[in-house]
Chain A
């Protein structure tokens, strides 16, 4: 039962028992309260995380809504993939909390974490297919590990998932025989094999040709809507991500600097966000990497003797 139907049912119940009509502001208040508490699949509060000396997250605050395609965008090296690993419990935050489906991820036991992960799918940048298993066996892997389903039923389920990503005909191929785009589609079929509630995509469009890119963009949106999933896409491919995302959060300097719909972000007041969204070569992020000397001065200075690594 969805939260909205809970509210509707509550209103009908009160209407009939109290024989009094709730006024509109009160129902709106109830709706907002339920929406805040229940519509967020992932809640990240005051997240701090460092890798070695480098501070990656400095107080990230982020909520991801159910049923939406949410994109987390930002330049390379801002820790987008690390954020997915923190949500999946593969890394522990230094400070702050991450709640997924209301569960505090860092506080879960191994058993609890694995139970939660059965409801999460993850598409890795490399696909992460098992190279010694065929396409069919890769998709069947989570089903065989976590269920006692008979083999004929597993076969049907695998063929359904492969049909959904358009690769039923490739079931007998080995991962080495697949193109990059096909490998990601197989990985996507595997990620949805256990019918998760959310799927995380790590740079799904990187290095794809236009056709594969179009297929993946379309698949992510269609699967999200058809299966009632919630999707989190980590990417720096602005155009493709903006085409399918309901909401984008832009990560920069260890914080979420702006959130909103793709349209709103294209029109952002922030120069940095505009430069990122429009891919402008110069702006707050300068074209030139900072140098100790000016260009003329550098040309006139004595070259340092250096021996090459070779």
Chain B
């Protein structure tokens, strides 16, 4: 019994210590960001690998999620004779929830895991130590640009996802199932508010981008410098990001719409 409590206490302390380390790590990385103004090339390079290279999965997923939502929404609304309101249903679901959440989950799987693995491998092959010995701080040269690129890329990817998902549902609803195009766009325009819906969705995507990028770079930097350690860090990045995004989504939804 006592041993059980001891183990529990030790585990809780280890988790608290890890949180503290992650927070200090974030502060150091944020401190390195102002200097990036002088070297925008570093951020652009990371924006390409974190953002542009994630486009394929975001575009394809966005279109398919929109098409499925259009199909499901239409069959459900048809029961109530409200199929002309498909545009509202799709837009609100995507802009408020699915856009930021699904993009963040995809971002964790594509960009987050790549970031964690890259940084973890740099650590295990002594590239980060080598940089330190060349009097170059890896926090400024490696971590800060990747973190900033993640912050910037995620809201843009979420916007692209939402746009394409609405387009996908339009193709299914209007193109295939016969919903009136005017009703689709008109009702959407009436029901979706800029501040209440779009801005809150953007805030969500910014928060998720911040958390997903932070978890990815921290897990990579904190990885044990072995192949097993890097593999664990990559897995942890995806799992922790998914849990954090879903948990934060509930909190943010309760605050914004509750």
Contact = CB atoms under 8 A, between A and B. Distances in A.
A128 B129 contact: yes
A122 B133 contact: yes
Contacts of B133: 88, 90, 117, 120-122
B9 to A, nearest CB: 20
Contacts of B125: 126, 128, 131
Highest count of chain B CB atoms <10 Å: which of A121, A124, A128, A141: A128
B135 A118 contact: yes
Interface string A116-153: 01101110111011110000000001100110000000
A272 interface: no
Contacts of B137: 110, 114
Nearest to B121: A131
Interface in B31-51: none
- Is chain A's interface secondary structure helix, strand, loop, or mixed overall? mixed
Nearest to A193: B134
B126 interface: yes
A187 to B, nearest CB: 8
B127 interface: yes
A90 B130 CA distance: 10
B139 to A, nearest CB: 11
A128 B135 contact: no
B127 A131 contact: yes
Interface residues of A, number: 25
Interface string B90-133: 00000000000000000000000000000001000111011011
B129 A145 contact: no
A124 B129 contact: yes
A119 B132 CA distance: 13
B136 interface: yes
B129 A90 contact: yes
Contact of B126 (A118, A128, A146, A190): A128
A145 B127 contact: no
B113 to A, nearest CB: 17
A95 interface: no
Contacts of B126: 124-126, 128
A122 to B, nearest CB: 4
B134 A141 contact: yes
A256 to B, nearest CB: 24
A124 B135 contact: no
B135 A117 contact: yes
B127 A90 contact: no
B132 A124 contact: no
Interface string A61-90: 000000000000000000000000100101
B127 A114 contact: no
A124 B134 contact: no
B28 to A, nearest CB: 11
Contacts of B121: 131
B132 A145 contact: no
Contacts of A118: 135
B135 to A, nearest CB: 4
A128 B141 CA distance: 16
Contacts of B129: 85, 90, 124, 128
Contacts of A129: 127, 130
A156 to B, nearest CB: 20
A87 B193 CA distance: 62
A115 interface: yes
Contacts of A122: 130, 133
B135 A114 contact: yes
B226 to A, nearest CB: 13
B127 A142 contact: no
A115 B134 CA distance: 10
A146 B130 contact: no
Interface string A194-234: 10000000000000000000000000000000000000000
25 contacts: A90-B129, A90-B132, A110-B137, A114-B135, A115-B135, A117-B132, A117-B135, A120-B133, A121-B133, A122-B133, A126-B126, A128-B125, A128-B126, A128-B129, A129-B130, A130-B130, A131-B127, A141-B134, A142-B135, A142-B136, A145-B134, A145-B135, A145-B141, A187-B130, A190-B134
Given A117-B134, A141-B134, A142-B135, 10 more contacts: A110-B137, A114-B135, A114-B137, A117-B135, A124-B126, A124-B129, A128-B126, A128-B127, A145-B136, A187-B130
Task: List 5 A-B pairs, minimum CB-CB distance, nearest first.
Answer: A128-B130, A128-B126, A114-B135, A117-B135, A122-B133
